[in-house]
Structure 1
């Protein structure tokens, strides 16, 4: 056909930008063109710091100020020096007009994709390929490469600290919260005034990013979560899909049940530490609906999550749905359901003894957390589902039902009052420190299997 036609692009075939020669010259003067290859031999801090190099860059920028693609060239060069954290070089490029909102190439703004046709340049008839970083600004790049000093430089020169990229809608703070290696950038962004509760169109905040990016085994964003909470992150943040600060923990704990013992131990430890942080900043683990309640999950499988559940209860978490009460879900009912379920699997003495001891401890913890026992109406336990030790479960249930309809003894009310005053967790440690006779301490304590008189 007559006239020029757009060439067929094979995948990611490299095509030269019009402004690439200027970029190459700048990077060459800073000895950055082969920096990736020399990274094992040279520290990035040594690159682009020589005074003669910087003077040469200034001369090139002054010479090329009026060239056709100067703005794009100097802005793209800023992206490259930002990656390596070259503060002085970045400062010079900003001085000479580098665009803080530059995203790599017009390809990112005018259509064309990585595997599709690239935009056409009317000036030279050259086809511009999409750049690998089309939707990230220099500030995003600085965060991704964990360059806190460059982050501060860019923000101080007017970069929008809360700007979101066009593809994933990630803010610099979101990106900083997703990897433990970016902790210094996260800290710097908070110090510079980043909006800690800014959310994307789905309602996802930096805190929810930090939680969702933690896998519990290799990626632990515990410190990032702590910094965000101390910076005022809202623990009530909820996405349009209903995800809360506990959603990721619930998922990880559920996955951990099927993991190896070591992975489960690491995951449980991570979830415990994060739960401590969240509750210390006012998060409610007993909210509705049940699938979003950390307390509900732990009660439903207390055999695996006993330590975390004990922490939640001793920290003041409700053992019933805090919105609708026991009619929605009840801790007492969940404990008995869990007992019957597990006692249908094994009759081994060690298994039974451990499970029943934990169940009794949890029932006592719940009874000792309120003056009146609140059970679901018409609450009954069908012990026929227990293949083993159903009589012992029935005995526990009958004693609980009897307490529900009996006026509480003064000693029970005193126990509730004292334990409430000693919250949050760990209550038992505080009880041992009280100037009381051992007999009274023994009554105030819950888990007698975990403590002997010599520990009082």
Structure 2
């Protein structure tokens, strides 16, 4: 009756059979899934699916980047399970200020950079994450962004990460895209242990950068890193080595010693370099000697050190300036560092006479003014500088400035004229001969231009 009432065509019957077969397969899959063993197999299949999906998103997935930056080891273990995932290139975006000549202003631009999981973890000092990634096949010498993970770990002073990388075969002399070895990137006090590790793993202490041909010693001296400098010198760094501009590490130290809070460190650096044979007369960029640079930075202790070791007090740079010219141009910037100390030292080591026109440079420093005026047998006219003296300075040192005005174009005291005669005779030997003369202390101090606060 049923068959007589509903007529089935051959195609309809085939469709019904296919649906029944599909239903049977689904029933079998569900039955298999109910057993513990097959549930585990299914879970592995889903994990593989998730991993393949993650690999396709690693390059730009912010969640992956955040897990690496935060050192989230649990997430990293889930994401980075295979060698392919560990060594996948990750894209990051950084925002940098860039000068636009067309617009004539600074603008914020976005730059895409390539990195890897190992690089990000090493940069942040996440040692456990670095260990996990290395254990899963991370390429320790890969440089997707132009530098290796060792470069980045050392630059940030992450000693434990650097130790892990070196122990697994990181190249301590790898050269980055910019031409730097890891040792060149040890530029802060926090990187000292990294520098020590690199040298213990055969880093080349005299390796030069590609751009300016600086050695690690140049760079450490530039940053005033006294412990680094001592370390490098004990590993046979060349104190006389010159960079592309003809500068030694001593030139670099004197050139960058411009922050009073770091004067102590730079002084130690200069002293060590000189003790290890650095030449105090070597002229570098624009024919600046270390003495030119130390004077220009207002560092009295380094100036004294250089002079005691034979620096040329009257050497001229490519602009024709002597060290005395350099300190007089910087007086106003280093008033608290007592620029008069430098001026007196230069004069006692034979610095030549100062053009009266230069007196305007030290109008705000009465002590410096006094030292210079005591080299003249007659006080010159003060029209060129007297109006430059600030009112508060004048009021504080009124006795001094009035004593100058009273002595203009008048004969100086016989005592002063005798001082000038003796100093002219001794020349560059004033600093060494006068202390050896059997004179009362007050007389010796007078000859060495002790400052008194007035002119006579």
CA shift in 2, pair 1:189/1:214, >3 Å: same
Matches within 5 A, 1:5-404: 12-17=110-115, 20-23=116-119, 27=121, 35=124, 48=127, 53=128, 57=131, 61=134, 64=137, 71-72=141-142, 76-104=148-176, 108=177, 134-144=178-188, 146-180=190-224, 182-215=225-258, 217=260, 220=263, 221-239=266-284, 241-252=286-297, 267=298, 270=299, 272-288=300-316, 291-295=320-324, 307-314=341-348, 316-317=349-350, 319=352, 335-336=375-376, 339-342=379-382, 346=386, 350-354=400-404, 364-369=418-423, 371=425
> Contact between 1:213 and 1:219, CA under 8 Å: does it hold in 2?
no
1:222 match: secondary structure: helix
In the TM superposition, residue 240 of structure 1 has moved relative to its aligned partner by: 5.6
In the TM superposition, residue 232 of structure 1 has moved relative to its aligned partner by: 2.0
CA distance in 2, matches of 1:417, 1:204: 30
In the TM superposition, residue 308 of structure 1 has moved relative to its aligned partner by: 3.3
1:422 match: secondary structure: helix
CA shift in 2, pair 1:205/1:364, >3 Å: farther
CA distance in 1, matches of 2:193, 2:432: 49
- Corresponding residue for 2:435? 422
> Contact between 1:284 and 1:317, CA under 8 Å: does it hold in 2?
no
In the TM superposition, residue 334 of structure 1 has moved relative to its aligned partner by: 11
In the TM superposition, residue 203 of structure 1 has moved relative to its aligned partner by: 0.5
CA shift in 2, pair 1:306/1:88, >3 Å: closer
CA shift in 2, pair 1:186/1:353, >3 Å: same
TM-score relative to the length of structure 2: 0.53
Query: Alpha-carbon deviations, 1:65-100, whole Å to 9, x = none?
Result: 8xxx55316982222332344445423422332122
2:186 match: secondary structure: helix
In the TM superposition, residue 431 of structure 1 has moved relative to its aligned partner by: 4.1
* Structure showing the higher helix proportion among its residues: 2
Higher RCO (Cα < 8 Å, 6 or more apart): 1
1:368 match: secondary structure: helix
CA distance in 1, matches of 2:329, 2:374: 5
> Contact between 1:431 and 1:445, CA under 8 Å: does it hold in 2?
no
Structure 2 unpaired stretches of 5+: 1-92, 96-108, 355-370, 388-397
Query: Alpha-carbon deviations, 1:183-230, whole Å to 9, x = none?
Result: 221221122221111111210111111111122555533332222222
CA distance in 2, matches of 1:71, 1:156: 18
In the TM superposition, residue 246 of structure 1 has moved relative to its aligned partner by: 2.3
- Corresponding residue for 2:394? none
CA distance in 1, matches of 2:168, 2:331: 63
TM-score relative to the length of structure 1: 0.53
1:286 match: secondary structure: coil
> Contact between 2:179 and 2:209, CA under 8 Å: does it hold in 1?
yes
In the TM superposition, residue 139 of structure 1 has moved relative to its aligned partner by: 0.7
CA distance in 1, matches of 2:279, 2:190: 25
CA distance in 2, matches of 1:87, 1:450: 54
1:152 match: secondary structure: helix
How many residues of Structure 1 are paired with residues of Structure 2 in the alignment?
306
CA distance in 1, matches of 2:325, 2:140: 60
